[in-house]
Amino acid sequence: MELIQVGEKTYYIKNPTNIGIYKLDSENVFLIDTGNDKDAGRKILKIINEQGWNIKGIINTHSNADHIGGNKFIQDRTNCNIYSYNIEKSFTEYPILESSFLYGGYPFKDLRNKFLLAKNSNVININNNLPDGLEYFPLKGHFFDMIGIKTSDNILFLADSLFSEEIITKYHLFFIYDVKEYLNTLENLNNLKATLFIPSHCEATKNIDSLIEINRNKVNEIVETIYGFCKNEITFEEILKCIFDKYSLIMNTNQYVLIGSTIKSYLSYLYDENKISYEFKDNKMVWKQV
């Protein structure tokens, strides 16, 4: 982990999930997300302590385990408040909701792992509770009520609204809860101005135009790919296999629920756009182009 100053009051810790830091004064700071587990929380706290700072609060952009995994460790040791927004608050307080939602039922033990099931923490709804110098804005699509954070230095933390070209080239699919909202968020990102943009899983950048285009193009590609699979009657499980085969992905339990849930979101999008329909045949749900 590397601490980088990007504004008078704004820093971030470069990490697989970038961690934001905002200085309220000479001693007190707010964190933006906490990484994927207690080890990340321990490393973050070590960096904060080395600077002589105190953690007064944590803002979680959303409730995925790789953004809230260090919450409990840090909260237990600092007694800081944690702030999250709407549905994300519930998922952060009760992390079993994420793995249950992804699986569609009670998750069997192989799905109750740190990548899908963080430790619970005590959370306050963000509402108007942020200190001066910090504000939040909606970034729906990737997860239920994901938010971004703007600091007084005009630095924007963009959570998982954008993924890097390297990640997209390697994995092709990234998790999306609501495809239409995600595309709307990409449009809204076009209108944002900032001194620096910091997505959670990308390098910090002064210009996000190309990232927006890369992400939009891949989503549209997946839409057309799934639509093409539906030329003939096909089940969800068959679509899932076709996606994994097309992009040479390797199935495991985590990928099954993450990509599986995402494909269902694409099917919902295509259905709501009147591109595909479904019916039940031989007690199987099958999808087909309209």
CATH for 205: 3.60.15.10
From the CA atom positions of the chain, what is the Rg in Å? Answer: 20
Taking a C-beta distance cutoff of 8 angstroms, is the pair 204, 158 a contact?
Answer: no
Query: Which residues, other chains included, contact 40 with Cβ-Cβ below 8 Å and sequence gap of 6+?
Result: 15, 17, 34, 69, 70
Edge to edge, the sheet with strand 2-5 lists 2-5, 10-14, 19-23, 28-32, 54-59, 81-84, 124-125
Is there a single domain that holds both residue 248 and residue 188? Answer: no
Domain span at 87: 2-219
pLDDT at 1: 87
Q: Rounded to the nearest 5°, which phi and psi values hold at 155?
A: -100, 130
Write down which residue in 219, 245, 260 finishes a domain: 219
Contact by Cβ (8 Å): 18, 42 = no
CATH classification at residue 244: 1.10.10.10
Task: Count the residues in the chain.
Answer: 290
Q: Are residues 240 and 199 in the same domain?
A: no
The residue among 77, 65, 154 whose CA lies nearest residue 113 is 65
For the chain, report the end-to-end CA distance as a whole number of angstroms: 50
- pLDDT score recorded for residue 128: 87
- Tokens 């792992």 sit on residue: 113
Sheet holding 196-201, edge to edge: 134-138, 147-151, 155-163, 196-201
- Residue 168 shares a structural domain with residue 243: no
- The pLDDT score that the predictor gives to residue 21 is 98
Considering the domain architecture, whether residues 236 and 275 belong to the same structural domain is answered as: yes
Q: Are residues 234 and 189 in the same domain?
A: no
- Residue ranges in the chain whose pLDDT is less than 70: none
CA angle 264, 270, 274 (to 5 degrees): 140
Distance CA 174, CA 160 (A): 10
282 Cβ contact list (under 8 Å, min separation 6): none
* Number of compact structural domains in the chain: 2
Residues 236, 238: Cα–Cα separation, whole Å: 5
**Same domain for 233 and 205:** no
Residues 138, 281 within the same domain: no
Q: Please state the φ and ψ torsions of residue 114, each to the nearest 5 degrees.
A: -65, -20
Contacts by residues 123-127 (CB-CB < 8 Å, ≥ 24 positions apart):
123/60, 123/82, 123/83, 123/84, 123/89, 123/92, 123/93, 124/81, 124/82, 124/83, 124/84, 124/89, 125/83, 125/84, 125/85, 125/86, 125/89, 126/59, 126/83, 126/84, 126/85, 126/89
Shared domain check, 24 and 6: yes
Structure-block tokens of residue 191: 């209108």
pTM of the predicted model, to two decimals?
A: 0.96
Cα dihedral sign for 251, 255, 256, 259? negative
Retrieve residue 241's tokens: 């296999």
> Quick one: which of 6, 254, 288, 282 has its CA closest to 150?
6
CA–CA distance, 195 with 7 (Å, rounded to integer): 9
| Whether 191 and 283 share a structural domain | no
Domain boundary among 186, 203, 219: 219
